[in-house]
Amino acid sequence: MNKTKKAIIKRFKITGTGKILRRLSGQNHYRAKKTGQDKRKGRKWIALSKSETKRVKRYLQT
């Protein structure tokens, strides 16, 4: 039995329907030059693609 990767748990959210969500990248610094619209878009969670979902679920073997 494999252990669950703790870094994966911290970075992703799993919805009730089984989708895996991630945050938008590039939101930690250099935000002064971004527009307000870009900053607001960065707060949202984005669903992973099917191939990425498959890979992440393999690390989440709980």
Distances (CA, A) of 22 to 1, 2, 47, 56: 26, 23, 6, 11
Residue 35 is assigned to a structural domain of this protein: yes
Residue 62: pLDDT band with limits 50, 70, 90: low
CATH number at residue 34: 4.10.410.60
- Give the pLDDT score at 4: 85
Full domain range(s) for residue 44: 6-59
- Give the pLDDT score at 23: 94
Give pLDDT tens digits for 13-39: 999 998 999 999 999 999 999 999 999
Mean pLDDT of 29-58: 94
Query: Tokens 């329907």 correspond to what residue?
Result: 17
Residue 61: pLDDT band with limits 50, 70, 90: confident
Residue 46 is assigned to a structural domain of this protein: yes
Residues contacting 3, CB < 8 A, separation 6+: none
Tell me the pTM.
Answer: 0.78
Please state the domain count of the chain. 1
